[in-house]
Structure formats: C-alpha cells, structure tokens
C-alpha cells in the first residue's frame, strides 16, 4: 500500500484521547496491517530510542511504505498518576539524529501525553513532519462535552454537560463512550440534567492504588474484585492487562527495595527519602513489605516477568486469564 502524501514523521500528543485515537485510526488505515510495527516505550522493558531507529531502518516484506507506531513516549502513569518509564535524553538524541535523514519508505509516529512541540523531539518531528496536539483544559471539559454532543446532532444544555462530567469524571475516553450512548438514546431530541442522571454510568470509586493496596495486603479476593471492576470501567479493556502487569511490577520493585532497607535497619522516613515518597504512602509500603519475605518478593518479580512475556505474545491463553493466574501466584502465601 502506498501513501505518498504522508510525511516521514508525526508526533501525536495531548490529553484528548478520543481525538488522538481517531487520528491514529486514520493513520493506521493508510497502511496494510502487515506493514505496521508497534512499539511501547513505557514500562521496565520498553522500547529505547535505538530500538525505534532500528525498526525504522528495517525493511518490510510488503511493497510500499510502512508505519512504525511508538506509544507512551513520555511514559505511562503509575498508581499515583505520575508518568514514568519514558525516554531518557540518550533515547531522544538517537531519534532526533534519525530524523535528520529519515528512511524514505518509513513513516514514524510517536504518541505521547505531555510532550510539547517546543521539546527537542517535537522540534525534530516538526522539521520533517507534523506535530498534532490534542489538548483539553479540564476546567473547560463541559464545553468539550457540549461540542461532542453537537457533533452527534444532540442538543444538550450547559447544566447537563457539567452534570455528566461530575458523574463520569474527566477521562475523555469514558466521557466519549457515555456521550455516544446518550446521543444514541436521545435520537436527536434534547437532553437535560434528569436524563443524564438517569442514564450516565458513574466511573465508580476505584483508584489506581486499589490494586497494589489489595495485593500488598495479600487479599486475593479483593485483588480479583479490583481487577474485575477496572475491566468494567475501562474505556480500553484490551489494554488493561498490560497496565495491571506494569503497576504490579513497579510495586513489587518498590516493596523489594523497602524490604531490603528494613532488614538493614531503615525506618519509614528513610524509605520515604530513598524512594522519593511522602510519609503516608511510605508507611503503607513498609506495612506491606512486612507481610512478605524477601524470597517471596524475588519470586513475585520472576512471576510478573513471565506475565509480561505472556501478554506480549508468549501465551495462547486469554490476557485476562493470564493476569488472574499471575496475581493468584504472587498473592498467596508460600508455605
């Protein structure tokens, strides 16, 4: 498949996930599925800058241009909502150098959340391609909701838009799903606050740290309940297994460091300082570390590594089943 009007590189960035997803869908649609290579940066074993350069310079068995799609360039969010695992300066330098003379048959698309056009990577992409920033000020979310309803032919008042944000939260993908549902139900008729309250599904009371808290307390039933709840609430359930594995891996690493420090006489304040945490989460981490032996934490690290391999194509089992088996293995006490 040929796409002669495409540029050598694109950066798609921002927090308006529905628009970003539509942009990526249109781009992917320009290529034969067999000529698309997908790489993920976020996480412990994410793709490096040199990895991406090698992928871009590699040939394809299919004729025409190929797409190298790289996501989570600036990392993925941990249970405290902080981005981690993104590219370091050396990774950026490798890709910037590649963009000075990009491969003629390759389109590179980088996807990030907070990467700006003024960044070194943004400037390098802009010289040979396009930077597409889809950003929504969360303070203006009701207006964004109103525009989304209008695009679907629905008339919705400002109060109803604000109420939808209050019920659902600020996740744009979840909001888009609820907007689609409500617009379909309305069939072009006006929607008010009452209809929104009756039909909108609340995001729920889940928090990113619920999973690691339940696991740290060795409560398998609660761990499985949290996972099931997150699947139900997720706008992208197929991506949840990788997210679960990433959060557990990061948490096990922190617990192992905490356990080692405690065995050498460290106190909560020492753990907080060493891990860059505030006192309250550090206190929780210390309490959880006391429930595991160092051998169990090492075994958990290995088991989650096997889970990561399985989720990346190393198993024929369903991803959600692989997650359930892994959390059962690392939660139960070893006797």
In the predicted model, is pLDDT for residue 211 greater than 60? yes
Please give the structure tokens belonging to residue 129. 């391609």
CATH number belonging to domain 138-199: 1.10.8.60
Annotated domain spans of the chain: 9-134, 138-199, 210-331
Cα separation, 101 vs 95, whole angstroms: 10
Fold for the domain defined by 9-134: Rossmann fold (3.40.50)
In the predicted model, is pLDDT for residue 208 greater than 70? no
What are the start-end ranges of the H helices in the chain?
17-28, 49-57, 89-99, 120-128, 141-151, 158-168, 172-186, 193-199, 210-216, 220-233, 240-263, 268-275, 279-289, 294-309, 319-331
Tell me what percent of the residues of the chain surpass a pLDDT of 90. 35
Cα separation, 211 vs 234, whole angstroms: 14
pLDDT at 111: 95
Top-ranked range on mean pLDDT: pick from 114-128, 241-255, 276-290: 114-128
Identify whether the C-beta of residue 28 lies closer than 8 Å to the C-beta of residue 67.
yes
Tens-place pLDDT, residues 267-300: 999 888 888 877 888 888 899 999 999 999 999 9
- What's the pLDDT band for 2 if we cut at 50, 70, 90? very low
Tens-place pLDDT, residues 137-190: 878 889 999 999 998 898 899 999 998 888 877 778 778 888 988 989 888 888
Q: How many CB atoms lie within 10 A of CB 232?
A: 11
- What's the pLDDT band for 59 if we cut at 50, 70, 90? low
Fold for the domain defined by 210-331: Zinc Finger, Delta Prime; domain 3 (1.20.272)
pTM score: 0.56
Least confident of 16-20, 40-44, 159-163, 301-305: 40-44
Please state, rounded to an integer, the average pLDDT across all residues of the chain. Answer: 86
Cα separation, 205 vs 318, whole angstroms: 27
Tokens 């370091």 identify what position?
88
pLDDT at 49: 95
Please give the structure tokens belonging to residue 7. 């540029």
Q: H or E stretch including 264?
A: none
The mean per-residue pLDDT over the stretch 11-20 comes to 89
Least confident of 157-166, 197-206, 302-311, 312-321: 197-206
Tokens 């990788």 identify what position?
242
């Amino acid at each position: 498949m040929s796409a002669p009007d495409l540029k050598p590189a694109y950066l798609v960035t921002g927090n308006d996930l529905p628009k970003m997803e539509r942009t990526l869908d249109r781009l992917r649609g320009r290529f034969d599925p067999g000529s698309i290579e997908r790489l993920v940066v976020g996480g412990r074993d994410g793709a490096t800058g040199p990895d991406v350069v090698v992928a871009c310079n590699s040939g394809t068995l299919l004729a025409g241009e190929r797409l190298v799609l790289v996501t989570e360039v600036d990392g993925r969010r941990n249970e405290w909502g902080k981005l981690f695992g993104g590219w370091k300066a050396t990774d950026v330098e490798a890709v910037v150098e590649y963009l000075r003379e990009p491969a003629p048959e390759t389109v590179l698309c980088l996807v990030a959340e907070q990467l700006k056009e003024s960044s070194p990577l943004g400037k390098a992409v802009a010289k040979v391609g396009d930077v597409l920033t889809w950003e929504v000020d969360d303070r203006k979310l009701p207006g964004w909701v109103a525009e989304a309803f209008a695009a679907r032919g629905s008339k919705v008042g400002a109060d109803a838009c604000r109420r939808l944000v209050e019920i659902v939260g600020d996740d744009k993908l979840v909001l888009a799903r609820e907007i689609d549902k409500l617009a379909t139900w309305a069939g072009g008729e006006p929607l008010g606050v009452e209809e929104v309250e009756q039909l909108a599904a609340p995001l729920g009371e889940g928090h990113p740290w619920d999973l690691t808290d339940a696991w740290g307390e060795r409560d398998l039933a609660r761990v499985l309940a949290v996972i099931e709840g997150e699947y139900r609430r997720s706008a992208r359930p197929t991506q949840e297994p990788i997210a679960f594995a990433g959060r557990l891996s990061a948490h096990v690493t922190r617990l192992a460091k905490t356990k080692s420090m405690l065995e050498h006489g460290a106190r909560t304040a020492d753990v907080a300082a060493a891990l860059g945490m505030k006192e309250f989460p550090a206190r929780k981490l210390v309490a959880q570390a006391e429930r595991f032996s160092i051998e169990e934490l090492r075994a958990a690290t290995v088991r989650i590594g096997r889970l990561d391999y399985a989720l990346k194509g190393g198993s024929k089992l369903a991803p959600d089943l692989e997650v359930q088996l892994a959390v059962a293995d690392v939660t139960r006490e070893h006797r």
